[in-house]
Structure 1
Amino acid sequence: MRLIYTALLILLCTCVRAQTDGTSPPELAPNTGGVGGKLTEAGSEAPVGFANVAVYSVENGEMVGGTTSDIDGNFTLKNLPFGDYRLEVSFIGYEDEEMLLELNNGERFIQMGKIDLSQGGATDLDEVVVTAERAIMELGLDRKSFNVEKSVASSGGSAEDLLRQIPSINVDLEGNVSLRGSGGVRFLINGRPSGLVGTDPTSYLKSLSSSAIERVEVITNPGAAFDPEGTAGIINIVLKKKQDDGFNASINLNAGTGNKFDGNLDLNWRKGKFNSFAGVSARYDERFFRGYRDQSGTLGDSLFSRYFTFEGDRLNRSQMFKLGTEYALSDRASIGIQGNYQLETGSNSNLRTTQFFDSENTLDRTSVRNETEPSDETDYEIQLNYNQTFRKEGRRLTGQLQYSQNDESEIENYYEVITDAFGAPYAPDGRQRSPTLEDRTRFLGELNYEQTFGDFKFTTGWRSTIEQLETDAAFQIFGGGDYATVDSLSNLFRYDEEVHALYATIGGKVGKVTFNAGLRAEQAYTTSNLLEPNPEVFNNDYFSLYPSVFAGYSFTENTTLQASYSRRVERPRAWALNPFVDRGDPFNLRSGNPFLLPERINSFELNLQQQYGKGTLTGGVYFRQLTDIISRITRIQEGGVSLSTRANLDRGRNYGVELIGTYRPTNKLDLTVSANGYRSEIIGNSDDENIDQNGYLFSGNVQGSYKLPWDVQAQFTYFYRSPGVRPQGRIQAMQSLDLGFRKDILDGKGAVTLRVSDLFNTRRYSYTTETGGITTVSEFQRESRIAYIGFQYSLNQLGRGDREERRGGDGGGMNDDF
């Protein structure tokens, strides 16, 4: 076998030399050489810009040079010491390409000519023994891709924990995700919308194991081919997948302090025209939380104050199953079907103590309220995918049908004891509960076609989504030996939404400018229907156009300027529309608003990408113009009770600066630094109250990876967010430090990891609100200092005959689904 490998290596070297075209080599330092070439898309011959090109020493596997292709696909690496090298080309959405080089006095500069990149994922080559990790961050034309498969942070914890490590992304203590400081983030799974994410992505992110994620793509200004929903942009979570022939299996096991366990097993079998896969994962996560709320103000002519403390525990258990297969109908067509099924149960408990003080700051009474909330949730999703290429190169047709359903039930139980200042019962003990049943169904259908004309590519497509959510929420009071429903405080609510879209884009190159322009037309039908207790219907049907434009200009092979514009929309979700009042905290109520309008966004960006010897620097400015802003508004009711709801504010602006840099000073150390500073301006009125709010916010992230002795990889992540403003209040600064270690074992097939999140226990959310003459100072902390230990193992049994059969076909492109 080694003799075969050696012969193949010699053959590859010979093929590489045969591609020189006589182009005059660049000026080279003494005793050094270089390599150059042009990257093109297989079939269409379109240039592939901003791809990663790296050169590794065959002798020791260390990277000795790297660059990215320019906007025309050209690349040049020079001043490489004489020796044997492996050239690796990688880019998002294309298969990796690897080839061997030998630089010497006789052949100092090798001109590769055109290197065709095939669409698909990375391919592992039997012939190459030395492997290398992909860069932590890869820059694409419309996105930043963060490779986390080998990250220490991806071991143990959930997807929510992992997203905290990614530049540009912020996750608060409740799991709400924002991008560059703005909410309204759209989530995709493997490039497609998923019913498992549902209307509340925080639940999915908590249940998805971080060890199942290969990379995270951040798209802050998506084009017309993407769904325009989401104020801030798109986060695409790409799950790990196997493409090797034969049988493949991987297992991940993790345990964390404070009763936290998760594991997953993924199986893949690829034989002939079939590629079948299955997986199972389970998660058990228990976390405490605690906090306080200090309120003071005026009711009538009297001063008052209240002091709340709360502490509790949140337990989540989930199991997820996936099963699917892909069949190659021909060399140019494939069809695949896949299913996902998830079970989730939860049990939350909270002990809430409230002290009431009069105008003399004397204790008047105390409330001790015990809250428990068991919940059950079932999700399933079925997808049918089709992929077709044509005899004439540069044409492709893809289609998808998807159906998903979500059923969730929960019961909030409240037991309250109120005593006077001397501890005597102030009122009879009170028991209440609020059972809720929620059912959601969703259908998606889409068809996409692309065709290449010389240096230009045209794409067009159709997508329709039909969604219905029904919520039956009740409020019940215990009396007479049983619970009785209070009809006036209960409701039955249904939300229907249909969105039908057509889009077209055209892209290509004119001179030194690469461009892509598109237009998306959407017709939306939405209905908020309050069925009980007092029937009320609000229809909001609207037609909208969503244009997008992207342009890039390459000054040199290492310096590129990009500009983009897109129009987006933030549609209110069902939970924000449902007028049911959540009375979990009797003095801080929460409710939806069925009359919300969609928020409109015009987004502009300008970015400069600079590649230099040992790193990259991306700097950009962005501006978002918003109308009908969907914002949380708090109003004071009778008795000093606050009601938090949603409302449309007139308009606003967000503008900021973002910097992301990567630096590799040595072969053992990698650094990624990011910083985002922006100003938010909100102009609006709600119930004759002026909600104008202006302010600045800054956040930064520093991540480092260092190779210790005994091949132990160490990694740290430091996060800081400055104080800032929000409607009707301010937030305080927050920071945290994560630390982890990884050691490969079992000849690289396995690994053990140890990491600690929030090492100094500083991840606390503090804020102040001022409304209706009442000032509230609050702090909330969810358990975040957690130590994890993990084990990963991968088994790959490849068949060479199967491999050659696969390489001869189209590949289908369906592997991205899992």
Structure 2
Amino acid sequence: MKNKTEIVNIFTRKTLGLTLVLSAAAMAFAQEKADVSGTIVNKKNQPVPYASVTFSNKANKSLSDAVLTDEKGQYKLQLTPGSYDIAVEAIDYKKSIINKNISGTGNIGALSIEAEANTTLDGKTQELQGVVITASAAKPYKVELDKKTYDPSQDIVSKGGSLQDVLTNVPSVTVDTDGTVSMRGSSNVKFLINGKPSSLLGIDDGANALQSIPADQIERIEVITNPSSKFEASGTSGILNIILKKSKKVGFNGSVVGSLGYFPRTSLNANLSWRKNNWTWFVNGGGGYTENKTKSNTETTYHNIKFPKVDPIPTTQAEIDKIPTVPVHQLQNSTSNTYNKNYNASAGFVYDISEKTSINLTGLVRTFEGDGNDLVNTYDSFYKYTKDTSDPWKLMNPYTLRDSKSIFNNLAFQGDLGLDHKFDDKGQNLSVSLSLQRNRSNNNADIQESVDQVLSVQDITRRHSVSKTIIGKADYELPIGENSKFEAGYRLDINNNTYNNFVSTTSNNPLIADYNNNTDYREMFNAFYLQFRSKIGNFGYQVGLRDEISNVKINYISQNPTKAPLDKPKNYNNLFPSIFLSYDIAKNNQILVNYSRRIDRPRSFFMVPFSSYTNNQNIFEGNIDLNPSYVDSYEVGYNLTKKKFTLNPTFYYRHATEDTKMLVYRPDERKTIFYTKPENLGNDDRIGLDLNFTYDPFAWFKIMGSADIFRYKTTGITSYATIDKDGLKQIRTLNFTGSGFSTRLRLNTTFRLDKTLSVQLQGFYRGGQKTENQDRKDMYAVNFGASKTIWKGDGTITFNIQDIFNTRGMEVFNYTSDYTRSSFMQWQPRQFSLSLTYRFKQGEKIEQPKRKKDINSNATGDDQQGPM
């Protein structure tokens, strides 16, 4: 028996290297693949474990693939029908080559191989338990037919972190300092978990929800910049599909990850799975504690200072107090500290009822709770009318401190049931599923406001929201010949979101009654799609059409007796076509052209009027009249894959109509209160180049980068009513028109210092953007990570630093004829963490930065229920 080192070298050189190269060579729009399985045995019909099985397509080498057998000598993979040379290699066995014609899905039976002449096996299999198998890591970024897949297993910087940390390194994706996620400069991104909308991401939890999903539970992230008709039409920027881990390894496997960091953050998460016979079980869960610190500064300078005419001259102090002040300058500093505990758990199983039918059941629960302290310091400069008859207008400089103490909690459940059935071995399949979801969120705050250290106002806010969702869907696939496939499906979404907002205050703010409201937001979507794909020679195409019928009903009841209840129905029926074309120039070299139409439905939170009162100087106001925005998206891409590098440039053009933008305005120019309100404002056009690449110049040095360079053109003018400095009603206009160039750059370099130690540097840059009224400055950050394998491959210790130079802040300037305003916000300062991972009961051991090869999974690892 050869020693472990020899076994590692043989498998690395002859088996896994070939497997990974052939897998990376698979190109989109190839002929439709079939599930192929089989067994490798010796001359005595005993299984041969961990044998290399290579399928070489005689007509097109790019369709070749390879796989390892499991401990029972069995294998499974997906292949395009055709004629193949099957090469079988194993330790102490002679290489065997067999020719077979693969016509469709099925088991090709047992292939027999012969022992070497000098082997001691004598026809008996050798025990291989505990053998260390290592292989070069697969490329973390892969281009497929209608998506790009990112594998975070090699992302050292995000180890021990959350989904938000992982997203900061995903190509084509940008995460702002407040946790806002955008793709190609647009924030209308649709999140899916395992192919479906999920209550795990909440209704309006933002960055808190992203932080509650551990990075160690994420299998991969699918970036879908131009989804086909099979996907729901929401998300004009595209779709991010988060695939959670569900191990397919035989036997019991698992890992445990613990982390410590600063700002104080701790976490402990486990991923466990067990597979035997027809059953596959998995349990993932954990929890943690994090502290966040957000800083923001806002400076406002008011123009066209004009003292209002005072006539008649007041004679009493009460009359003087009624005269509005004249604002000159305001400086506002805000510091927010939150303390958050989060817990999550998911469990489920897959049961193979027969060779053609399986059932799956999954349950998910996520909770986070905590408290926060928000301090807002405001330094005002304004003129106030006094009793001095010779010079009545005096410059005042009061200092206001607003101290908000909040308590928040969130609880989300989700249950999924699915059934998959294969009608035959030719690929005719039916998949049906049902998802039930519920999310409950509470946010309560007690606020005290002092002016020049004298308590003046006390506020109490209570916000409660509940979301209930039912999703039912069915997907059908029918192969037509060897090169074509017809797909059809139906989906039903029923969502019911309720909001209860309450504010109590000792101030004389006349708008407080508007903040007390109950809103019931109900929506139902019915969707149907048809899709056909085929390939003629080197040319492939896919055409699809989706019809979505949307029924939205909003019941808004304000506690202000002067406002009547609103009952606002909104109904849409839209068609969403998609076209995908491809041409294979040569092996690993192809051109992709596609088009799709998308919709941006307003978030329910955006349609609740007067929904925020945590900061009485900057108030978010919903818009019940907000309508959807539509986008036509075009792409021309090129995909080149070689052994040491991949290159994927994509030229794109997006045209959005009725684009939603945030209107910042002052309803009363005599006061320093700003409102932010979403509005449908004009069009938005973007044309750019999205370039993603990987390059492995040496075995110890790897590079992954992306660049998004685009020209933007925004058009839109809106008007709003205000009261001017003379107390007269005026109509002001805001111009959102602007154009220019902007960039998004990212570079990730990984150095392997030895077999067990790797370091990683990540750099990120986001260019600024301008419109007539706004100038958004650029932003950059640098991250560092180091990873060390210990305990003979069973453990990994990782250290990382997020934002080494503490530069990740967002700066924005706003200009109007009335004021100039600069804002800066840093959602989280520099932080670092140390994490320890322990793996146990695995069929294969790994050495960092190399990764385990799942010998039982197919080439793409697809395990979700499907995208519809």
Cα distance change, pair 364–267 in 1 and its aligned pair in 2 (3 A): same
Greater per-residue strand proportion: 1
- 8 Å Cα contact 2:248-2:857 kept in structure 1: no
Match of 2:724 in 1: none
Instruction: Specify the code of the residue in structure 1 equivalent to 2:698.
Output: T
1:397, distance to aligned residue in structure 2 (A): 0.7
Q: Which of 460, 463, 466 lines up with 2:491 in the alignment?
A: 463
1:767, distance to aligned residue in structure 2 (A): 0.7
Quote the Cα distance in structure 2 between the aligned partners of 1:616 and 1:117. Answer: 30
Q: Does 1:441 align with 2:468?
A: yes
Match of 1:649 in 2: 681
SS in 1 for 2:606: helix
| TM-score calculated relative to the size of structure 1 | 0.83
Quote the Cα distance in structure 2 between the aligned partners of 1:784 and 1:143. Answer: 33
Match of 1:393 in 2: 426
Pairing 1:140-155 to 2, within 5 Å after superposition = 140-155=144-159
The alignment covers a number of residue pairs equal to 743
Match of 1:166 in 2: 170
1:114, distance to aligned residue in structure 2 (A): 7.2
SS in 1 for 2:659: strand
Quote the Cα distance in structure 1 between the aligned partners of 2:553 and 2:379. Answer: 43
Quote the Cα distance in structure 2 between the aligned partners of 1:554 and 1:45. Answer: 12
Q: Which of 705, 722, 728 lines up with 1:673 in the alignment?
A: 705
> CA offsets, 1:248-302, max 9 Å, x none?
2211111111210112112222222222222221021102122211001136555
Instruction: Specify the code of the residue in structure 2 equivalent to 1:678.
Output: F
Quote the Cα distance in structure 2 between the aligned partners of 1:354 and 1:40. Answer: 58
Instruction: Specify the code of the residue in structure 1 equivalent to 2:831.
Output: I
> CA offsets, 1:743-765, max 9 Å, x none?
11222121111111111111111
1:372, distance to aligned residue in structure 2 (A): 1.5
SS in 2 for 1:747: helix
1:580, distance to aligned residue in structure 2 (A): 2.0
Cα distance change, pair 441–544 in 1 and its aligned pair in 2 (3 A): same
- 8 Å Cα contact 1:184-1:232 kept in structure 2: yes
Quote the Cα distance in structure 2 between the aligned partners of 1:665 and 1:10. Answer: 23
Q: Does 1:46 align with 2:32?
A: yes
Cα distance change, pair 111–671 in 1 and its aligned pair in 2 (3 A): farther
Q: Does 1:640 align with 2:672?
A: yes
Quote the Cα distance in structure 2 between the aligned partners of 1:413 and 1:718. Answer: 40
Cα distance change, pair 501–128 in 1 and its aligned pair in 2 (3 A): farther
Q: Does 1:175 align with 2:208?
A: no
- 8 Å Cα contact 2:775-2:813 kept in structure 1: yes
Cα distance change, pair 746–91 in 1 and its aligned pair in 2 (3 A): farther
- 8 Å Cα contact 1:475-1:485 kept in structure 2: no
Instruction: Specify the code of the residue in structure 1 equivalent to 2:813.
Output: T
- 8 Å Cα contact 2:341-2:370 kept in structure 1: yes
Quote the Cα distance in structure 1 between the aligned partners of 2:364 and 2:462. Answer: 27
1:350, distance to aligned residue in structure 2 (A): 1.3
Instruction: Specify the code of the residue in structure 1 equivalent to 2:500.
Output: D
- 8 Å Cα contact 2:24-2:641 kept in structure 1: no
Q: Which of 801, 814, 838 lines up with 1:756 in the alignment?
A: 801
Q: Which of 522, 533, 557 lines up with 1:531 in the alignment?
A: 557
Match of 1:407 in 2: 440
Quote the Cα distance in structure 2 between the aligned partners of 1:705 and 1:812. Answer: 25
Q: Does 1:785 align with 2:825?
A: no
Quote the Cα distance in structure 1 between the aligned partners of 2:558 and 2:820. Answer: 35
User: Which moved further from structure 2: 588-597 or 390-399?
Assistant: 390-399
Quote the Cα distance in structure 1 between the aligned partners of 2:821 and 2:435. Answer: 45
Match of 1:136 in 2: 140
Pairing 1:636-785 to 2, within 5 Å after superposition = 636-638=666-668, 639-687=671-719, 688-709=733-754, 711-725=756-770, 728-771=773-816, 773-785=818-830
Pairing 1:69-88 to 2, within 5 Å after superposition = 74=62
Match of 2:575 in 1: 545
> CA offsets, 1:618-656, max 9 Å, x none?
112101111111111111121132110000012221111
Greater Rg over alpha carbons, structure:
2
Quote the Cα distance in structure 1 between the aligned partners of 2:337 and 2:361. Answer: 39
Match of 1:61 in 2: none
SS in 1 for 2:799: strand
- 8 Å Cα contact 2:194-2:864 kept in structure 1: no
Quote the Cα distance in structure 2 between the aligned partners of 1:304 and 1:558. Answer: 64
The answer for unaligned runs of 5 or more in structure 2 is 35-53, 66-74, 107-127, 308-325, 384-392, 720-732, 845-854
> CA offsets, 1:588-612, max 9 Å, x none?
1111101110010100001111234
User: Which moved further from structure 2: 428-437 or 358-367?
Assistant: 358-367
Instruction: Specify the code of the residue in structure 1 equivalent to 2:658.
Output: D
Match of 1:216 in 2: 221
1:213, distance to aligned residue in structure 2 (A): 1.4
> CA offsets, 1:380-427, max 9 Å, x none?
1111011111224111111110011111111122111002xxx7x4xx
1:74, distance to aligned residue in structure 2 (A): 2.5
Pairing 1:23-38 to 2, within 5 Å after superposition = none
> CA offsets, 1:78-117, max 9 Å, x none?
xxxxxxxxxx999999xxx997669xxx99x999887899
> CA offsets, 1:754-787, max 9 Å, x none?
1111111111111111236111101111223111
Instruction: Specify the code of the residue in structure 1 equivalent to 2:140.
Output: I
Pairing 1:112-131 to 2, within 5 Å after superposition = 129-131=133-135
Cα distance change, pair 493–36 in 1 and its aligned pair in 2 (3 A): closer
SS in 2 for 1:358: strand
Match of 2:212 in 1: 207
- 8 Å Cα contact 1:305-1:361 kept in structure 2: no
Instruction: Specify the code of the residue in structure 1 equivalent to 2:164.
Output: E
Match of 2:656 in 1: 626
Cα distance change, pair 386–727 in 1 and its aligned pair in 2 (3 A): farther
SS in 2 for 1:436: strand
User: Which moved further from structure 2: 508-517 or 570-579?
Assistant: 508-517
Cα distance change, pair 519–69 in 1 and its aligned pair in 2 (3 A): farther
Match of 1:292 in 2: 297
Q: Which of 487, 497, 502 lines up with 1:474 in the alignment?
A: 502
Match of 1:283 in 2: 288
Instruction: Specify the code of the residue in structure 1 equivalent to 2:448.
Output: Y
Quote the Cα distance in structure 2 between the aligned partners of 1:154 and 1:14. Answer: 32
Cα distance change, pair 112–768 in 1 and its aligned pair in 2 (3 A): farther
Match of 1:344 in 2: 368
Match of 1:450 in 2: 477
User: Of the two structures, which has the highest relative contact order with CA contacts closer than 8 Å and spacing of 6 or more?
Assistant: 2
Q: Does 1:516 align with 2:542?
A: yes
Instruction: Specify the code of the residue in structure 2 equivalent to 1:776.
Output: R
1:511, distance to aligned residue in structure 2 (A): 2.8
Instruction: Specify the code of the residue in structure 2 equivalent to 1:718.
Output: G
| TM-score calculated relative to the size of structure 2 | 0.79
User: Which moved further from structure 2: 666-675 or 385-394?
Assistant: 385-394
Instruction: Specify the code of the residue in structure 2 equivalent to 1:632.
Output: M
SS in 1 for 2:792: coil
> CA offsets, 1:453-490, max 9 Å, x none?
1210111100010001010001111599xx99953431
Cα distance change, pair 484–571 in 1 and its aligned pair in 2 (3 A): closer
Quote the Cα distance in structure 1 between the aligned partners of 2:231 and 2:667. Answer: 42
1:37, distance to aligned residue in structure 2 (A): 13
Quote the Cα distance in structure 1 between the aligned partners of 2:630 and 2:99. Answer: 48
Quote the Cα distance in structure 1 between the aligned partners of 2:289 and 2:77. Answer: 37
The answer for unaligned runs of 5 or more in structure 1 is 17-33, 49-65, 78-87, 120-124, 800-805
Quote the Cα distance in structure 1 between the aligned partners of 2:515 and 2:22. Answer: 73
Quote the Cα distance in structure 1 between the aligned partners of 2:6 and 2:753. Answer: 32
User: Which moved further from structure 2: 525-534 or 450-459?
Assistant: 525-534
Cα distance change, pair 70–219 in 1 and its aligned pair in 2 (3 A): farther
1:195, distance to aligned residue in structure 2 (A): 2.2
Cα distance change, pair 38–353 in 1 and its aligned pair in 2 (3 A): closer
- 8 Å Cα contact 1:37-1:115 kept in structure 2: no
SS in 2 for 1:153: coil
Quote the Cα distance in structure 2 between the aligned partners of 1:776 and 1:702. Answer: 33
